[in-house]
Amino acid sequence: MAKIHNIDANKLHKLLKAKQALLIDVREPAEYQSESIQGAHNLPLAEVTIDKIELLADTDKKLVFHCLSGKRSLMACNKLRNDDIEFDLYNLQGGISSWKNEKLSILTSARKILPLDRQVQLAIGLMIVFGLILNYFLNSIWLILPLIAGFGLINAAITGWCGLARLIAKMPWNK
């Protein structure tokens, strides 16, 4: 069974310069287009499969995954490890955020988009606020919105799966 190793931004930078690593960005396409690490291949978390990785994988290079903070990339590593991939996997600790904190260069575009996790936070906040406002002015049935948001957060905390994140990832602005 493959092992998952954490790697820091500076060590990854050295590996990339020496052409010893293959970097996979598991964020959504819009996040990747907004800012990315030079040489990274975009493969959103939902599309990570052993078949797609084997097409990209160069057995002489370390296979490194990254996202915004390191959470989605660790999920990608675990997903592949559970599929019995035959080589070790590497997760960029702290994701592209740690890369930027180390003042390493990134490619940026004029198109800016909120990262997926912040889009989810915004949607949950709006569900709660609008549910409470509509409850106050119209009818208590609107309390269903904060209730759904609460149950969604509980589910995401317990299982690590967020249905709202999957839904928002499919929205046109994230393509």
Q: Report how far residue 21's alpha carbon sits from residue 40's, in angstroms, rounded to the nearest whole number.
A: 10
- Give CA 171 to chain center in angstroms: 15
**Helical (H) or strand (E) element with 101:** helix 95-101
Q: Which residues are catalytic?
A: 67
Exposed/middle/buried for residue 65 (C-beta within 10 Å: 0-12, 13-18, 19+): buried
List, in sequence order, every residue forming a beta bridge with 92; answer none if it has no partner.
Answer: 7
118 within 8 A of 32, measured Cβ to Cβ: no
Look at residues 57, 113, 97 and name the one whose alpha carbon lies nearest to residue 80. 57
**What are 61's two structure tokens?**
């290079």
